[in-house]
Copies of this chain bind each other. A is one copy, B any other.
Amino acid sequence: MSNKHAVVLLSGGLDSATTLAMAKAQGFICHAVSFDYGQRHRAELLAADAVARSVGAVEHRTMRIDFAGIGGSALTDFNIKVPEQQGQQTSTGIPVTYVPARNTVFLSLALGWAEVLQCSDIFIGVNAVDYSGYPDCRPEFIRAFEQLANLATKAGVEGTSQFRVHAPLIDLSKAQIIQRGMELGVDYAQTVSCYQADLQGRACGRCESCGLRREGFTALGVADPTRYQSV
């Protein structure tokens, strides 16, 4: 076990909870960070706090970002409807739930915090299998950010640390992610994946994210601990 520190992006969803548990299992002392960007599914932020405690991050910060002023996504703009059919996308294959430059902004802030903490490892739970439509969930994006990080920062330039962006879920299916998390003791009942969860964190059961999550539990053949809104 190392005593290295890492910044872990934690949304409160299934993927990032698993990522945090994987970082911890690799021996990292984990500093979790969530972003309050005016997302519809604010129950995520409460879930993130519960997950950070139960998985065992040494601290958990929530940073506010003014994404709502930008608009342009169903996740932050109340004039754009969250699609209730799985797989509903724009004509070009990118979902309307895509938030412009979201992971670039998240990683940038995580990078700033990592630099202050003098740590060089950042974990992000992006996944290129289920979310292949999101440009900022692809391996080439992660590699480009890693290159940028080493040019952008004092630590990178001085050579005191070489930044690494870990994306351990990138090639896993949802079922594989859940399996790995269960091995590590993640309590998925605490996590919220739904794009339009209610304030109690109960899922709609109809959006794309709910669909992908449910299929993961089904494919693995384990009970789905998700709390759904009564219909």
When chains A and B are docked, how far (Å) is the Cα of A101 from the Cα of B135? 22
Q: Which residues of B contact A147 (CB under 8 A)?
A: 144, 147-148
Interface residues in A2-48 (C-beta closer than 8 Å to B): none
Q: Is A50 on the interface with B (CB-CB < 8 A)? A: no
Contact call A101/B69, Cβ cutoff below 8 A: no
Instruction: Spot the interface stretch: A57-65, A174-182, A187-195, A217-225.
Output: A57-65
> Are B156 and A135 neighbours in the complex by a CB distance under 8 Å?
yes
Interface bin, chain A: 35 or more
Which residue on B lies nearest to A95, using beta carbons? B154
Give the distance in Å from the alpha carbon of A70 to the alpha carbon of B114 in the complex: 9
Which chain B residues lie closer than 8 Å to A199 at the CB level? Answer: none
The interface bits of chain A over 134-178 (1 if a CB of B lies within 8 angstroms of the residue's CB, else 0) are 011010110011011101111011100000000000000000000
Q: A131 at interface (Cβ–Cβ under 8 A)?
A: no
Which of A64, A98, A105 gathers the greatest number of chain B CB atoms within 10 Å?
A: A105
Chain B residues, CB < 8 A from A115: 72, 100-101
**Cβ contacts under 8 Å, A56 to chain B:** none
Tell me which residues across on chain B come within 8 A of A145, comparing CB atoms.
148, 152
Interface string of A59-80 (1 = CB under 8 A from B): 0010111110111100000000
Closest to A110 in B: B101
Residues of B within 8 A of A64 (CB): 64, 66
Complex-state Cα separation, A140 to B152, whole angstroms: 9
Known: A94-B154, A136-B153. 13 other contacts (CB 8 A): A70-B109, A99-B112, A100-B116, A101-B109, A101-B111, A101-B152, A104-B108, A104-B148, A105-B105, A135-B151, A135-B152, A135-B157, A138-B151
